[in-house]
């Protein structure tokens, strides 16, 4: 068996740590250990989530580094090209967190439609909320536009049909034909504009890439329905936040649920007088995957990948 020095640079669930520590021939260094900062000197493997950024300098300094294992899907916090150039393998745990992210997507959508957070705030402020003047929107049988029909987008689509009896229109020019086989209820479109015009709820489930950077900007908001809700549980940068703010302020869309934004975690300094001053906005600090069930499953999956790599 090979000997490995494993640096866990972000917090992992205790189940995953227990599994890691039960492996033989591993040196495991956990978050909080002062050696974490110097992982570049002797790490053979790095376990990461989305908190830590791993750039070329880190990869270069870790001369014995063989693999970076990401608990989660989006690998935009890792310099993939540098890893490839220096022969470092990068793995992630696709598919596992889809249910949790899809649940948050629906939670944000329903909360905005029914004004849950806004009304809760008013109740806490001692206001007598007049129901007849505080009507929400029902999402029953409404249309969701799913942008990106990968693991998460597909679960969102299924939940939408099951829970809302709703229609689904989806845009994903890169998904293979097989991805649509069990999606018979889904209207597939090759035109993003068609989706934006039809959807009551526009939900983003694409990775952040050069192509998806600024995918939703002024022109896209102009095509959306005036009662549309935008959900971004994918990545900041996909939505142009200036254009979103304008669209909200001008009443061109109803609201936005953001679990991903340009500046994370979102702060009052950054968003207090802009997006957060709109009652139709809900912001959460990248908690899509943050359920006990998922953190345990995804963490163990990352450890399983490590074990597989070590077995060769």
Q: Which stretch binds ligand NAD (CB under 6 A): 55-63, 138-146, 270-278, 286-294?
A: 286-294
Q: How far is the CB of 92 from ligand NAD (least distance, A)?
A: 9
The answer to whether residue 59 forms part of the interface with ligand NAD (CB under 6 A) is: no
Rounded CA separation 42/136 (Å): 56
Q: Which is nearer to ligand NAD, 29 or 168 (CB)?
A: 168
Q: How far is the CB of 250 from ligand NAD (least distance, A)?
A: 26
x/- string (CB under 6 A) for ligand NAD, residues 97-136? xx--x-----------------------------------
Containing H/E element for 19?
helix 14-21
Q: How far is the CB of 77 from ligand NAD (least distance, A)?
A: 10
The answer to whether residue 153 forms part of the interface with ligand NAD (CB under 6 A) is: yes
Q: Residue 211: CB partners within 8 Å, gap ≥ 6?
A: none
Please pick, from the candidates 48, 110, 113, 260, the single residue that binds ligand NAD as defined by CB under 6 A. Answer: 260
How buried is residue 119: exposed, middle or buried, by Cβ count under 10 Å (0-12/13-18/19+)? middle
Q: How far is the CB of 33 from ligand NAD (least distance, A)?
A: 26
Query: 235, 241, 252, 297: which one is catalytic?
Result: 235
Rounded CA separation 52/122 (Å): 37
Token pair in block for residue 229: 């809700």
How buried is residue 109: exposed, middle or buried, by Cβ count under 10 Å (0-12/13-18/19+)? buried
Please pick, from the candidates 26, 62, 146, 147, the single residue that binds ligand NAD as defined by CB under 6 A. Answer: 147
Q: Quick count: other Cβ atoms within 10 Å of Cβ 56?
A: 13
Q: How far is the CB of 238 from ligand NAD (least distance, A)?
A: 9
x/- string (CB under 6 A) for ligand NAD, residues 12-51? ----------------------------------------
Token pair in block for residue 93: 């745990």
Q: Could you confirm whether 56 is annotated as catalytic?
A: no
Query: 40, 49, 115, 286: which one is catalytic?
Result: 286
x/- string (CB under 6 A) for ligand NAD, residues 172-211? xxxx-----------------------------xxxxx-x
Rounded CA separation 93/74 (Å): 9
Containing H/E element for 15?
helix 14-21
Rounded CA separation 82/75 (Å): 13
Token pair in block for residue 28: 């495991």
Rounded CA separation 196/177 (Å): 22
Per CB under 6 A, residues contacting ligand NAD are 72-74, 94, 97-98, 101, 147-153, 171-175, 205-209, 211-212, 233-235, 259-260, 286, 288-289
Q: Which residues are catalytic?
A: 235, 264, 286
């Amino acid at each position: 068996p090979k000997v490995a020095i494993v640096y866990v640079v972000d917090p992992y669930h205790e189940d995953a740590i227990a599994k890691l520590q039960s492996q033989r021939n591993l040196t495991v260094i956990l978050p909080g250990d002062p050696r974490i900062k110097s992982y570049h000197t002797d790490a053979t493997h790095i376990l990461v989530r989305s908190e830590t950024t791993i750039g070329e300098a880190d990869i270069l300094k870790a001369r014995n580094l063989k693999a970076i294992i990401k608990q989660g899907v989006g690998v935009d916090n890792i310099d993939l090209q540098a890893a490839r150039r220096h022969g470092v393998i990068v793995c992630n745990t696709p598919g596992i967190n889809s249910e949790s992210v899809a649940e948050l997507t629906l939670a944000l959508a329903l909360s905005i439609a029914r004004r849950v957070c806004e009304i809760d705030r008013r109740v806490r402020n001692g206001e007598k909320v007049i129901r007849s003047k505080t009507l929400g929107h029902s999402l029953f049988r409404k249309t969701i536009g799913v942008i990106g029909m990968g693991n998460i987008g597909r679960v969102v689509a299924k939940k939408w049909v099951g829970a809302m009896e709703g229609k689904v229109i989806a845009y994903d020019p890169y998904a293979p034909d097989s991805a649509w086989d069990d999606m018979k209820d889904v209207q597939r479109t090759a035109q993003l504009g068609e989706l934006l015009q039809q959807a009551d709820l526009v939900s983003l489930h694409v990775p952040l890439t050069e192509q998806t950077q600024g995918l939703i900007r002024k022109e896209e908001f102009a095509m959306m329905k005036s009662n549309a809700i935008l959900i971004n549980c994918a990545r900041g940068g996909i939505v142009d936040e200036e254009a979103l703010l304008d669209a909200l302020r001008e009443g061109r869309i109803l609201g936005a649920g953001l679990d991903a934004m340009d500046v994370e975690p979102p702060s009052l300094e950054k968003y207090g007088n802009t997006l957060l001053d709109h009652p139709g906005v809900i912001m959460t600090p990248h908690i899509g995957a943050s359920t006990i069930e998922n953190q345990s499953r995804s963490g163990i999956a990352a450890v399983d990948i490590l074990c597989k790599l070590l077995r060769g």
